[in-house]
Structure 1
Amino acid sequence: MKNMSDGMQAVAGNSLRRLIGAVTNNRFLASIVGVIVTCIVQSSSITTVMVVGFVNSGVMGLAQGIGVIMGANIGTTITGWILVLKVGKYGLPILGFSAFAYLFSKGDRWRYWAMFLMGIGMVFFGLELMKEACSAIKDVPDFEAWFAKFNADSYVGVLKCAAVGCILTTLVQSSSATLGITISLATQGVISYPTAAALVLGENIGTTITAFLASLGTTTHARRAAYFHVIFNLFGVFWITLIFQWYIRLIQSIVGVDVGQSVMVDGSATYPNVVAAIAATHSVFNVANTLLFLPFLQPMVRFLEWAVPARAYKEKPRLTDLDVLILETPLLAIEQSRKEILKMGDGCLKMMDWLLELMNADEPDKVLADRLKQRERVLDTVQDEVAEFITGLLSSGNVSHATAEEARRQLRLADEYESISDYIANLDKFDRKLRRDGFRFSESQRADLAQLNRHITEYVAAVHEGLANGNRNIAAATGPAVTRIRSEIKSLRRKHLEELSTGPMAPVISVAFLAALNAYNRVRDHSRNIAETISQDK
C-alpha cells in the first residue's frame, strides 16, 4: 500500500498541488477533491492527516477541511474495487516486471510508475498468500469455533464484528489493508458476507485513529477537523447498523450476484462473488453517509466550534505555516515551503521601501525603524523554520530526486533572502548612527543613495517575480540590470573619492557612505545568487 501511495504521489505531484489549491468553500467541490486526492494517494489516512496539517497551518479553513475529509472516505473505497479485479494470479509477474523497471529505469517518472505497479503486484500477491493461509483456518476446529463467535446475525453480533474491525484497523493503521484481510477470509468461507460487511463498517471507525493521533498538540482548528472525522464515521456506523439486515440485502440486489455461490479451487470451496459485495458495502455506506452530512456542514462547523472551544492564549508559536504533518506528502510539503520563501522575498521588498522612507525622513522615525528591525528578526526565524522543515523533508526517505533538488534550492533561496534582510538592516543602522552622532549624509549623497535604492529594489522585485512565476530565464533577463547597478556603484564610489579631495568631509560620513555602497552591492550579489538558483546556473 505504501509503495502504491508513494509512487502515485510522485507521478501525480503537480496535479495534487493543483487539486489542493482548488479547494474552495463549496462543500461539493471540496468533497470531490477529497475523493480524487485519496484515489491518487491510495489512503484516506494520508489525505486526512494532510487536511489536519493544512487546517493546522491555516492554509485551509475548517469547513473546507471537513468537505475534503468526507470525500476522502469515499475515495478510500477504490481499493476494494481494485481487489474485485480477478488478477491475483498475476500479482507475482507484475511485481517482478515492475521491480525490474524500478531498479533499471533512468527517468524518475518511469521509476515511480514502476513503484506504483510494484505496490499493486505486492497487494495482489499478498492477497493470494493470505487466501492460501485462510483456507487452512477452516481445517482447524479451534479457529473455526473462535470465528463462529463473531457472526452478524443479530444487532449485538453486528456491533461485535464492527468492534473487531475497528480494533484491527487501529492496530494496522490502514483500512485498505484490513479490507484485504477481510476479503481473504470471506472468499475462503471462513466468515460469512454479513460478518465481512460488519467488519468493513468497523474498519471505517478504526481508520480515524491516524488523524486523531496527528491532531494531538495541534491548533484548535486542526483538532476540530480530526474530531469531525471520528464523529462522521461513528455516526455513520451507528445509523447503518440499525438497518444492517436491510442494508446488506440492498447491496446484494445492487450488485446482482449470489454471494453464497461457491467455486471449487484445488479441492476447497471459495466464494469469489463476495468480493464485489464487500466493495459495494464499503462504497455505498461512505457515499450515503457523505450525502447525509453535506447539507449540515455549516451547523457541523458551529457544533465543533462549540464542542472544541478556542484556547485563551496564542496557539501558533511558529512564524511560518509549515507543519510536519505535511511531510507525509513531499510534493505538497515542498510547495508549502516555497510559499514561505516567497513571503520572505515580499518581506525584503517591504524593507527596501521602508529603508528609502527612513533615509529621506527629516526626523528619525522610531516606529518605522523598529518595524524594519523586527522584520529582519522575523526573517531570521523564518529561515530557521524553513531550514528545519526542509531538512526533515530530505531525511524522510521517500523523496524523489526532483523534489530533493528543489528542496536544496529552497535552502539556498531562504539563506539568500535572509542575507538580503541583514544588509538592509545594516543600511538603516549606518543612517541611524550618523544621526545619533549629529551627522547626516549630504543632500547629494542622499539623492544618490535613494536612486541606487530604487534601482536595486526594481532588480530584487524582478528576480522575486521570476521566482514566483518559475521563470528559468530570469538570470539572463536581469543580466543587464546587474551590470548597470555595478557600474552605478563604481561611479558613486569614484564621485565620493573626488569629493573627498575637493573639500572637507567628516570621516564618519565617508566611512558610512562607503559602507552603504558596499551593503547595496551585497544586496545585488545575493539577488543575483537567487536569479542563478532559479535558472539553475549554479
Structure 2
Amino acid sequence: MSYLSSLFSLFGGLGMFLYGMTIMSDGMQKAASSKMSKFLNIVTENRIMAVLLGAGITALVQSSSATTVMVVGFVNAGILNLSQSVGIIMGANIGTTITAWMVSLTQVSSSALSFFKPEFFAPLLVGFGAFRFLFGKKGNDDLLANFCIGVGLIFIGLEFMSSAVSPYADSPIFSRAFQVMGGNPVLGILAGAIVTGLIQSSAASVSILQTLALSGAVPRAAGFYITLGQNIGTCVTAMLSSAGASRTAKRAAVIHLLFNVCGAVIFGIIIFFMSFPFAHFFQGGLSPVEISLFHTIFNVSCTIILYPFGDALVNLSGKLVLESSKDKEEAENPNHYTEVEKNLIQHLDLRILESPAIAISATKTEVINMARITAENIRHASDILLNENVAEIPEVFARETIIDNMQKLLTEYLIHIGNLSLNEMQKLEVTNMFNTITDIERAADHANNIAEQAQYADEHNISFSEIGQDDLRKISDKVIESFNSSIDAFERNDLEAVVRTAHLEDQVDEMEEDMRETHILRLSSGECVPQAGVVFLDVISDLERISDHADNIADYVKAMI
C-alpha cells in the first residue's frame, strides 16, 4: 500500500509542478505580451541580440520547447530567417536554466533560513492567489494571482515528489541504475533524452532529477550525463511541431537538434575522460544546486563555443533536410490559392499561437493587408464606372474572391487565438478584429456591387450626364479617403485618424442625401433617363455604405485607445 501511495504522490506532485508551470507561464506571457512582439521586431542580423531575445522569451515562458516551437512557426511564416533563428535557439537554452535555479532553492538547509524555503511559503502564495481570484474585481485578469498560484503549485509539487522518492533513496535499484549510467555516457544521455521527450518538458525532467538528487543518491557523472540528454530530449517538441511545415521550418527544428547534440557530445567526451583522473569527484553525490550550476555552465558554454558556427549549422541543416517530392510538386503545380492567399496561410502559422501576443500582431498585419486590397478594389470599381473601363471588371471580381477567402482564413485563425489564454485587452483586440474583418468584407461587397453596376450600364448602353459623373467622382473620392483613413486608424491606433474618419463619414452622408435629392429632381424634369437614375442611386448608396463600414472600423479602434 505504501508503494502505491508513493506512486500517487509522485504523479500528483509532477502534475502540480507542470500545472503550476503552465499557470505561471500564462501569467508572465500576459504581463509581457505587448513587449514580446516588440522584442521580436528588433531582431536583425545581429545574432547577439537574437541570443538575448531567445533567453529573455524563454525566461518568461519557462519553456525552451515553447520558444523553439514559436521559432519554427516564425520561420515557417517568414517572420524570421534561419540565421536569426539560430541565435534565438541558442538563447532559449540559456533562458531555460532559470527554472533549475528556482528548484535549487528547495535545498536551503540552515534552520535559520528555513523560513525562506519555497515549500514553506508556497501554500501562502496559493492561498493569496486564490483569494485574489475569488474576491477580486470580476472580469479582470489578475496576473499577480496567476503568478502566485503558479509558483506555489510548482514548489508544492516538488515537495510531493521529494516526499514520494525520499523513502527509496537508498534502494539498491536506484543506486545500481545511477552507477550504470554514471559509467556509460550513452545510457545516461539516452535516459535523459527519453524522459524529457516523453513529458515534453526539460524543466520538468531537470526538476525530477533535482528531486532525486536531494537524497544524495545521484552520482555526479550520472547526473551530468542525464542533464546532457535532457537538452536533446527537449528537441522532440520542435521536431514534432515541424512536421507538415515548410522545408525552411524543418531546418529550424534540425538546427535546434544539431546544436544540442553537438553540445552533448562535446561535454560528454570531456566528462568521460575527466572521470578517470577525478573518479572520486565524479562518483560523489550530486546536489540540486550543482545540477543548476552544471546546467547553466553547459548551456552558456555551448552557446559561446557554437556561436561562431551558426552559419555552418544553417548550411548543415540544408544538407540534412532535403527538398521533399511534395515541395517540388507544389512548386511545379501551384494549387488554386493565389499568391496573396498562400502568403496569408504561411504567415498565420498555428505554431505562432504559442505566443498569443505575436499571433495577434501577425493577424493584425494580415487584416491591414486585406483592408488595403479592399481599398484598391473600391478605387478600381469607381474608376471603371466613371471611365467605362469595362474590360477591367474581371479584375475586381477576382480581387473580391481573394478578399472573401482572406476573411474565411483570418476568421478561422482568430477563433484559434480566441481559445488561448488572453488578457482583457487582448480579448478586446481579437473581438474588434473579428468585427473589423466583417466590415472590410462588406465594404468589398459594395465595391463588387459598383463593378456589377458598371457592367450593367455597359450592357444596356447607359451613360451618366456630366453633372452625374461629377457627383459620382466627388463622393467616390471622399469615400476612398474615408476608408483609407480608417485603415490608418486601425494600423496605428491613431485617434486623430479616428476623428478624421468620423468627419469624412458625416460629409459622405450629407453628399449622398443632397445628391439623391438633386438627382430625383433631374429625373422629374427629364434631364436624366430613368435607367441611368436607378444605377446612379444604387452606386451612391453603395458608396455611402462603404463609408459607414469605415466609420465602424474607426469606432473599434476608438474602443482600444
User: TM-score of the superposition, structure 2-length normalised?
Assistant: 0.86
Corresponding position of 1:422: 445
Q: Larger deviation: 115-124 or 181-190? A: 115-124
Q: Larger deviation: 132-141 or 22-31? A: 132-141
Corresponding position of 1:281: 294
Distance 1:440 1:66, change over 3 A: farther
- Aligned: 1:302 with 2:315: yes
Corresponding position of 1:229: 256
Distance 1:437 1:305, change over 3 A: farther
Corresponding position of 2:418: 394
Q: Please state how far the C-alpha of 1:107 moved relative to its aligned partner.
A: 7.7
Corresponding position of 2:306: 293
Helix, strand or coil at the partner of 2:80: coil
Summarize the alignment of residues 108-507 of structure 1 with structure 2, pairs less than 5 Å apart.
Answer: 111-150=142-181, 152-153=182-183, 157-245=184-272, 274-310=287-323, 311-312=327-328, 313-314=330-331, 318-319=341-342, 320=344, 321-361=347-387, 363-366=389-392, 369-396=393-420, 398-472=421-495, 474-503=497-526, 505-507=528-530
- Aligned: 1:45 with 2:65: yes
Q: Please state how far the C-alpha of 1:300 moved relative to its aligned partner.
A: 2.8
Corresponding position of 1:12: 32
Report sequence identity in percent. 30
1 CA distance for matches of 2:499 and 2:493?
Answer: 14
Residue-by-residue CA offset, 1:30-78 (whole Å, 9 max, x unaligned): 1111111111111111111111111111122222122211111111111
Letter aligned with residue 497 of structure 1 = I
2 CA distance for matches of 1:404 and 1:344?
Answer: 21
Q: Please state how far the C-alpha of 1:184 moved relative to its aligned partner.
A: 0.9
2 CA distance for matches of 1:110 and 1:351?
Answer: 41
Q: Please state how far the C-alpha of 1:259 moved relative to its aligned partner.
A: 9.5
2 CA distance for matches of 1:64 and 1:174?
Answer: 24
Helix, strand or coil at the partner of 1:536: helix
Distance 1:283 1:11, change over 3 A: same
Do the aligned residues in 1 keep the contact of 2:170 with 2:217 (CA within 8 Å)? Answer: no
2 CA distance for matches of 1:284 and 1:417?
Answer: 53
Distance 1:141 1:247, change over 3 A: closer
Corresponding position of 1:34: 54
Do the aligned residues in 2 keep the contact of 1:8 with 1:113 (CA within 8 Å)? Answer: no
Q: Please state how far the C-alpha of 1:160 moved relative to its aligned partner.
A: 0.6
Letter aligned with residue 89 of structure 1 = E
Q: Larger deviation: 516-525 or 21-30? A: 21-30
Do the aligned residues in 1 keep the contact of 2:384 with 2:451 (CA within 8 Å)? Answer: yes
- Aligned: 1:516 with 2:539: yes
Q: Quick one: which of 40, 57, 78 aligns to 2:98?
A: 78
1 CA distance for matches of 2:266 and 2:394?
Answer: 59
Residue-by-residue CA offset, 1:207-253 (whole Å, 9 max, x unaligned): 001111111111111111111111111121112111114678999xx
2 CA distance for matches of 1:247 and 1:353?
Answer: 74
Matched residue pairs, number? Answer: 516
1 CA distance for matches of 2:252 and 2:533?
Answer: 60
1 CA distance for matches of 2:446 and 2:547?
Answer: 10
2 CA distance for matches of 1:514 and 1:40?
Answer: 58
Corresponding position of 2:119: 89
Helix, strand or coil at the partner of 1:462: helix
Letter aligned with residue 208 of structure 1 = C
Summarize the alignment of residues 98-113 of structure 1 with structure 2, pairs less than 5 Å apart.
Answer: 98-106=129-137, 111-113=142-144
Distance 1:276 1:486, change over 3 A: same
Corresponding position of 1:255: none
2 CA distance for matches of 1:246 and 1:104?
Answer: 59
Residue-by-residue CA offset, 1:440-473 (whole Å, 9 max, x unaligned): 2233322221111111111111111111111356
Q: Please state how far the C-alpha of 1:382 moved relative to its aligned partner.
A: 1.0
Corresponding position of 1:254: none
1 CA distance for matches of 2:28 and 2:234?
Answer: 21
Distance 1:363 1:466, change over 3 A: closer
Do the aligned residues in 2 keep the contact of 1:441 with 1:509 (CA within 8 Å)? Answer: yes
Distance 1:474 1:217, change over 3 A: same
1 CA distance for matches of 2:222 and 2:348?
Answer: 43
Q: Larger deviation: 291-300 or 181-190? A: 291-300
Corresponding position of 2:551: 528
2 CA distance for matches of 1:378 and 1:9?
Answer: 34
Residue-by-residue CA offset, 1:95-121 (whole Å, 9 max, x unaligned): 222332243332888722221222121
User: TM-score of the superposition, structure 1-length normalised?
Assistant: 0.89
Helix, strand or coil at the partner of 1:424: helix
2 CA distance for matches of 1:348 and 1:6?
Answer: 36
2 CA distance for matches of 1:4 and 1:38?
Answer: 13
Helix, strand or coil at the partner of 2:461: coil
Give the RMSD, CA atoms, in angstroms: 2.7
Q: Please state how far the C-alpha of 1:388 moved relative to its aligned partner.
A: 0.8
Letter aligned with residue 282 of structure 1 = H
2 CA distance for matches of 1:325 and 1:365?
Answer: 43
Corresponding position of 1:267: none
Letter aligned with residue 299 of structure 1 = A
2 CA distance for matches of 1:3 and 1:248?
Answer: 41
Q: Larger deviation: 474-483 or 36-45? A: 474-483
Q: List gaps (5 residues or longer) in structure 2.
A: 1-20, 109-116
1 CA distance for matches of 2:277 and 2:35?
Answer: 37
Distance 1:525 1:470, change over 3 A: same
Do the aligned residues in 2 keep the contact of 1:102 with 1:112 (CA within 8 Å)? Answer: no
Corresponding position of 1:268: none
Q: Please state how far the C-alpha of 1:309 moved relative to its aligned partner.
A: 3.9
Q: List gaps (5 residues or longer) in structure 1.
A: 252-257, 262-270
Do the aligned residues in 2 keep the contact of 1:173 with 1:209 (CA within 8 Å)? Answer: yes
Helix, strand or coil at the partner of 1:25: coil
Do the aligned residues in 1 keep the contact of 2:175 with 2:218 (CA within 8 Å)? Answer: no
Letter aligned with residue 404 of structure 2 = D
Higher normalized helix content (fraction of residues): 2
2 CA distance for matches of 1:207 and 1:426?
Answer: 54
Corresponding position of 2:17: none
1 CA distance for matches of 2:277 and 2:373?
Answer: 60
Distance 1:431 1:9, change over 3 A: same
1 CA distance for matches of 2:378 and 2:395?
Answer: 12
2 CA distance for matches of 1:94 and 1:28?
Answer: 37
